[in-house]
Amino acid sequence: MYTLSAGIWETFFKKKDYFIVIIGLDNAGKTTFLEQTKSHFLKDYGMLNPAKITTTVGLNIGKVVLNNTCLNFWDLGGQESLRELWPTYFEDANALIFVVDATRRDLFSSISHVFKEVMSNEFVQEIPVLVAVNKSEMEGAAAAAEVRTILQDEEHRADLAVLPVSALEGTNIESPSATLLF
C-alpha cells in the first residue's frame, strides 16, 4: 500500500528537474538571456539592469518552476580560459542553449569552431540544442538563417533549432525556454 501511495504522490506532486546549460563566447548576452527568462517566468522577479550585467566569471544559476517542472539554468562564462570547464556540465544537462552575438560577424569563424567542438561532445549529441541568435534586433545583425549556415552542423542526432532573439528586449525568450524540453 505504501508503494502505491508513494507512486501516486510522486506522479502528481513531485517536480521533475531539468538542467539547461547556457554557453557561447563572452559578451554574447548569455546572462541577459537568463535574466529575461527569469523575468518572464518568475512572478515579481526583479530583473538585473542589463547595463549593470558584467562578464560572467564562472557560473550563474537560475531556476524557473513551471507547474511540476523545475528548469535549472547554468549560465557558464564564455572566456576562452573558462571553455575547458563546459564539458563537465554536459553530462548532467538535459538541453543546451548556445548564444551567438549576431552583430559580431568578425567572430563568426571562432563561433563556428567553438560550436563544432561543443557539438562533438558525446553528451551534447543526445540532447536538444537551441542556438539563440542574440541581438537580432540590431541594425546589421546576421539573420538566424545566416548563422545556421555558418555553424554547419549536420551530425547532431537530437533536436537542433536556431532562433533569433533579443535578450535585451526579451523578444522570443519565452519560446525557447518553455518548449526546449517539452
30 is in an annotated binding site: yes
* pTM of the complete model: 0.84
**For residue 157, how far is the Cα from the chain centroid?**
18
Q: How confident is the model at residue 170 (pLDDT cuts 50, 70, 90)?
A: confident
Contacts of 12 (CB under 8 A, 6+ apart): 68
Q: Judge whether 29 is annotated as a binding position.
A: yes
Per-residue pLDDT band for 51 (boundaries 50, 70, 90) equals low
Query: How many helices (H) does the chain have, and how many strands (E)?
Result: 6, 6
Task: Answer yes or no: is 49 a known binding residue.
Answer: no
Has 136 been labeled as part of a binding site?
Answer: yes
Residue 137 marked ligand-binding: yes
Task: Confirm or deny that 67 is annotated as ligand binding.
Answer: no
Is 52 annotated as a binding-site member? no
Q: Is 35 annotated as a binding residue?
A: no
- pLDDT of residue 5 exceeding 70, the answer is no
Q: pLDDT tens digit string along 54-102?
A: 677 678 889 988 888 899 999 999 899 899 999 999 999 999 999 999 9
C-alpha 15/C-alpha 38 separation (Å) is: 18
Please tell me the predicted confidence (pLDDT) of residue 58: 72
Question: Which three cell numbers mark 67?
Answer: 507547474
Q: Say if residue 116 carries a ligand binding annotation.
A: no
* pLDDT tens-place string over residues 135-144: 999 999 999 9
- Residue 55 vs residue 120, higher pLDDT: 120
pLDDT attached to residue 65: 87
- Which is nearest to 129 in space by CA: 155, 162, 107, 151? 162
Assign a CATH topology to domain 16-179: Rossmann fold (3.40.50)
For the chain, the domains span: 16-179
Sheet with strand 160-164: strands edge to edge? 59-66, 69-76, 16-23, 95-101, 129-134, 160-164
Q: Would you say 135 is a known binding-site residue?
A: yes
